[in-house]
Chain A
Amino acid sequence: MNRKGKIGLALLLGALGTGGFILAQTQSSYTGPKVEITYLHGFTGPDRPVMEELVRRFNETHPNIVVKATAQPWGTIWQQLAALVASGRSPDVVVINEDQITGFIARGALSELAPAELRAANIDKNRFYKALWETADYQGKSYGVPIHSVALAMYYNKDLLAKAGVAKPPKTRDEFLKAAQACTTDRAGRKPGQSGFDPKNLETWGVGIPTPWMGGTIAYSVARQNGTNLVDEKLNATFNAPEAVEAVQFLVDLVGKYHVSPANATEQSEITAFRQGKACFNFNGVWMLSQYQGQQGLKFGIAPFPRLGTKMDAAWGGSSHLTLPRQRAGYDPNKRKAALEFISWMTQPAQNLKWTSAGGLPTQPVVAQDKSYDNNPMQELFEALPNVYPTSGYPWVAQVRGAWDAAFEAALLGKKDVKKALDDGVNEANKQIEQARQSIR
C-alpha cells in the first residue's frame, strides 16, 4: 500500500472514532495476485447499507482483492446453499446464522477453518466471546468466525417502576417477582393477592410471556439458567429434565399463580403494551432498542435478562458467522486465502465497532470497552455478553426448537401440564432427530 493510501485509510478509520484500532488494519495477510471473491449475506434490513459500506472499505484498502457482495433474505440462502454447494457453484464466503450453522457443518456444506489458516490470517479465536466463537464449532473443529451477535434482553419502564416503588431493575428471581407484583394492578386498582383481584382485566402488569418462538426463547434462557440445555452430549433432546420442567413451570406460574402476567400474550401485544406504558418489563431481543427509542414519551432502560433460573446467569443469543463453503476440486487456493483475509478484516475490532452501529452487539470484549458506547444504553448488556448461549451445536436445531416451542406453548396455554408437555415434546423431537441422523455423516 502506498503512502497516500495509508493516509487515506487512517483518515477513514479516524473518522470512525476508532483511533485505537488502526494499527491492526494496515497489514493484509494476502499478498498473491489479484482475485475476485463472492460474498453472500442476509443483512437486508437497515443493516444492509452498513454492510455495503464495510465491503466498500475493504475493497478500497485491498487492491488485490475484489469482493462482490450479494444480499438475499436469510430463508432464501438456507434453501439454496445446499444446492449451490452440491453443484460446485457456492459463493466464496457465506454468512450463516447460529440456528443453521451446525446443520450445514454436519451435512458437509462447510469447510473447516484450520488453526494454521486462522493464524496465517491473523484470526485469533481468543479475541471473541467464548460461547459466541464456539457456536460455529463442531466436533472440536472451527467452521466460522462471528460477525454479528444479538441477545435476549430485558427492557424496563422507568416511570412505571418509580410509581411501583422499585428502585433498580431486578437481577434475580426474587427481585423480579417482587417488582412484577408491585407493577401489577387490575382495572379497579387492586393488587394480586387482594380480595376481588381480577387477573383477566389487568391495567398494568409485570411482564407478558408470549408464544411460540419468543416464548420458547425466554424459556430456553431460564432453562439454561437452571443449568440444563435442550440436548445432551449425544445431541438427543432432553428438555424434559427436572431443571427444564422447573424453568417452564416458573414461567407458567407468572400467569396462573403470581398473576403478574396477562394470559394469552403475544409478542406483538407485549411490544404494544410496553410502548403504551402498561407493562413494566418486556423480554425481547436487543434489536427492539431503536424501536423503543423512537417511542415518544416512553422512558425506558435496557438490562441483561434477569436470573429467573436458580443456578447461573444465561440468556439466549443469536449470531451470524462468516464461513467458507465446500468448493469443487481444483478451487483456486488464492481465493481461499483472500477469503480468509476478508473474514479477518471484517471481524477486526474497528469493523465490529462500525457494524454494531446497525444494532448488533460487540463480538469481542475489546470492542465492548470502546469509549464510543459511553452514552449508548446498549452497553448495559455488555457485562452479560459472556453468558450468552445461542441455540446451536446440534445439527437439528429446527426440530428441537420446534418441539420445544410447541411444548412450551401447550404448557403456557394450559393445554397440558408442564411435565407432560415437555415429555411429549422430547418424544417428538427425538423421533425427528432419529430421522435427521440418517442423512448426516
Chain B
Amino acid sequence: MSARTAQERPQRKGSIFALNESNPLVPYLFLLPHAIFFFIFTVYPVGYGIWISTHRWDPLAPTQPYVGLEFYRNLFDPSTPQSQFFWRTLLNTLFFTAVSVPLLIAVALGLALLLHRPIVGRAFFRAVFFMPGILSVAVMGILWKWMFENQSGLVNIIASEYLGLPRLPYLTTEWLAWVPIVVGTVWWTVGFNMTLYLAALGNIPQALFEAAELDGAGSWARFRHITLPLLAPTTLFVAVTTVLASLQLFGQSLIITGGGPTRTTQSVIMYITEEAFSNNQFSSATAMSFVFGLVMLVFTVLQFRIMARDMQGGMR
C-alpha cells in the first residue's frame, strides 16, 4: 500500500476546507442531494406520523391531546369498529394477493414463453399484451365493471344468450365479486411481468438447450431444468414487486365493486382512506398505516431471505 502514489489513491486525511477530493466530507456531499429528499419526504413524515398516531389529531382542533397507544390498542380490542374492519380488510387484501400473484407470475411466464419463439406477429402481440398497463386504474376499473355488470355486462350476455349458462351477479355476490377485480388486475398488469420474463429469456445461452437436446432432454425437461432455474432471479424479483403491488390494492376495488358487497372486497388501504377522510379519524388511520406497513415489511424481509438463499443456490 505504501508503494502507491498520491495520484492513484486519495489521501487518507485532508482538511475539511480542502477544495479537492481529499476533503473527508466528499462522500457525504455526494449523498446529500438524496439525503435532503429522503429526510423531507420519508424521515420527517414517518416521525410526524408517529406523533399523529399517539395524539388525537385534527388540524381544526385547538388542542391535539396525547393519547398514547390508544389507536393501536383499538386495533386489538374486538369491541371497536377499527379492529373489526381493519383485520377483515387486511384478510381481504391478503386473499387478493394470494390469488393474483401466482396468476400474475404464471400467466406472464406463459405469455413470455410463447412470445419468445419466432412466431408471426411477435412484436405486435408483445405490444398488445403490454398495452393495458398504460391505462389508468380508473379506465381499467370502469371497463371491467362494465364487462362483469350483473345484468347487462358482456360476460353475462355471452353466458346467457350464447352459452345457455345462468347469469351470475358478480358485483353483488361475496367471493364472485373478486372475479372482475382479479381478472382485471391480471389483464392490466401482466404485460409488465411478461416483459421482464422476455428480457430474461433472451439472456439464456442457446448452447445450453442444444447440449441438453443432444443428451436427449425433451422439451419439458429442458424447461424444467434449464429455463426455470435460470429464470429464478427474475421470478423472485417479479414475485417481490407483485406481492407489494397487490398488497396495495386500492383503485380496482374502489371502482369495480366499491369494496362491496358488504365490505368483502374492500382492501385495507381503502379502509384506511375511509377512516381518515370520511370519518376524519386521522390518528386512527395513521396508526393503522403503521401496523399495515409493518405487515408489508415482514413480507418483504421474508422474500428477501428466500431470494438470498436461492441466489446462492443458483450461483453454482
Contacts and interface: CB of A to CB of B under 8 A. Distances in A.
Interface in B74-125: 79-81
Interface string A426-441: 0010011001101101
B61 A439 contact: yes
B261 A435 contact: no
A291 interface: no
Interface residues of B, number: 32
A82 B281 contact: no
B5 interface: no
A266 B150 contact: yes
Contacts of A83: 59
A406 B262 contact: yes
B58 interface: yes
Residue among B60, B169, B279 facing the most chain A CB atoms (10 A cut-off): B60
B288 interface: no
A108 B149 contact: no
A410 interface: yes
A195 interface: no
A117 B79 CA distance: 47
A269 B260 contact: no
Is chain A's interface secondary structure helix, strand, loop, or mixed overall? Answer: helix
B260 A211 contact: yes
Is chain B's interface secondary structure helix, strand, loop, or mixed overall? Answer: loop
A93 to B, nearest CB: 18
Nearest to A83: B59
B32 to A, nearest CB: 29
B175 interface: no
Contact of B151 (A108, A262, A406, A413): A262
Nearest to B156: A269
Contacts of B172: 211, 264-266, 413
Interface in A405-420: 406, 409-410, 413, 415
Given A107-B280, A439-B280, A266 B262 contact: no
Contacts of A27: none
Residue among A200, A262, A269, A438 facing the most chain B CB atoms (10 A cut-off): A269
A415 B60 CA distance: 39
Given A263-B169, A439-B56, A79 B261 contact: no
Contacts of B146: 268
B59 A272 contact: no
A10 interface: no
A235 to B, nearest CB: 15
B185 to A, nearest CB: 20
B7 interface: no
A108 to B, nearest CB: 5
A137 B152 CA distance: 43
Given A266-B172, A413-B261, A108 B60 contact: yes
A59 interface: no
A273 interface: yes
Interface in A379-401: 396, 398-399
A262 B167 CA distance: 12
B315 to A, nearest CB: 49
Contact of B150 (A75, A87, A265, A396): A265
Contacts of A86: 59-60
Contacts of B281: 435-436, 439
Interface in A248-295: 262-266, 268-269, 272-273, 276
A291 B60 CA distance: 40
Interface of B: 56, 58-62, 79-81, 145-146, 149-152, 166, 169, 171-173, 258, 260-263, 274, 277-281, 284
